[in-house]
Amino acid sequence: MPKLSHSVTATRLLCDEEVETVYRALETTMPGRTHSAKSPKGQPDAFRSCISCMLSAQSRDANTAKATRQLFALAKTPQAILALDDDTIVLAIKPAGLYNMKARNIRKFCTALLDEHDGVVPSTRAGLLSLPGIGRKCADIVMSFTFGEGVIAVDTHVHRVANRIGLARGKTEAQTAQSLEDRSPDWAKRDGHFWLLQFGKRVCQARTPKCHACVVREVCAYPAKS
């Protein structure tokens, strides 16, 4: 899980008023959730969204997409995946890397889903986290994209931006997610992921943040802003 060096961490946490200012600024300048927003990797249902999210760990988007296409061409339900032998699953998901571990997790996930949830993916964070192979990031992504919940899912961009400007604090994505959960106003949680993600891609970039064009520059706690 990505960690942040001191050089990209804010000198302080923003106060509640500043947090509100940040979200209001992003609300007016960054795209939020749209009708075209899809579940993880464009999958059409919660089950395949979970599998895709599991496959995406330490994998490039193109490789994840290839792995999911190959796997779902063979099986699209937990019952059908469990009917496949291990070698078949491994071969299908090989492009995503860590294929032996991911194959084991997928099989455990499918088994638990059938045994404990009658094959229906739970829509709560606690329910999702109870399933093998599902961590905080995956749970929040599925809750946000698939179930439309007001949850700020934390990926690399959101993790970097939140810590850099002082919106949240966490050495890992899971810690940052909890910090954002605690510190973000309820009204901003539905679209917060989308605002922070686009802000991280367009303005608050990893190596060369465009501080001169930043709409939250006045409250940002990034020590190296120029």
Catalytic residue list: 137, 155
- Separation of alpha carbons 128 and 125, rounded Å: 5
DSSP secondary structure, 151-220, as one string: -----HHHHHHHHHHTS---SSHHHHHHHHHHHS-HHHHHHHHHHHHHHHHHTS-SSS--GGG-TTTTT-
Residue of 148, 181, 164 whose CA lies nearest to 220: 164
Structure token digits, residue 209: 């943040």
Residue of 100, 91, 132 whose CA lies nearest to 115: 132
Structure token digits, residue 47: 């089950």
Q: Which residues have a Cβ under 8 Å from the Cβ of 32 and sit 6 or more positions away?
A: 190, 191, 194, 195
